Amino acid sequence: MDIAQNDGYEPHPAISPLSFLLGRWEGAGVVGYPTIESVNFGQEISFGHNGKPFLTYSSRTWLLDADGNIGRPLAVEVGFWRPQPDSRIEVLLTHPTGITEIYLGEISGTKIEMATDAVMRTATAKEVTAGKRLYGMIGADLAYAFDLAAVGQPLQPHVSAQLKRVSN
């Protein structure tokens, strides 16, 4: 079952600042870092709710070849987006690679900026020390950029994408 289902519940009033995110989004982006080759990827993101004061979130990505054909799976992450008073937000993200991140940030209209407050990892996970994410609407599209500090590298651009809503 997709973690980002709406299950027929009425949205909790607390999620109204994030209501622009609700639904399933698909699109493409670019991932790169000094330790990996830059590649194009496809992505699906789902934001849902279950009537509680948070959004459920899931993301999956896959490699795209030069012709845009789908290749092998890439990253997966799931989590919860928790709006707070005074336009603040707390985001909890978990990756199957043994990394969990806690982000703190601010909601400003249809723009969300956040940075890691904590990064936890298992003994076998790669070293990730910080992240910064920016999400926002560009017309009807959802765009985002993700900066990463990992494997001895300083915080720098890592991922960006632009997604179209495919369902509410």
Q: Over the stretch 109-134, which tens digit does the pLDDT of each residue have? A: 999 999 999 999 999 999 999 999 99
Q: What is the pTM of this model?
A: 0.93
DSSP label at 129?
A: E
- Judged by phi (left if over 0) then psi (alpha if -120 to 50, else beta), residue 85 lies in beta
State pLDDT tens for residues 2-51: 455 566 778 899 999 999 999 999 999 999 999 999 999 999 999 999 99
16, burial (CB in 10 Å: exposed 0-12, middle 13-18, buried 19+): exposed
Instruction: Report how far residue 133's alpha carbon sits from residue 115's, in angstroms, rounded to the nearest whole number.
Output: 6
Instruction: Report how far residue 105's alpha carbon sits from residue 91's, in angstroms, rounded to the nearest whole number.
Output: 8
C-beta separation of 41 from 28 below 8 A: yes
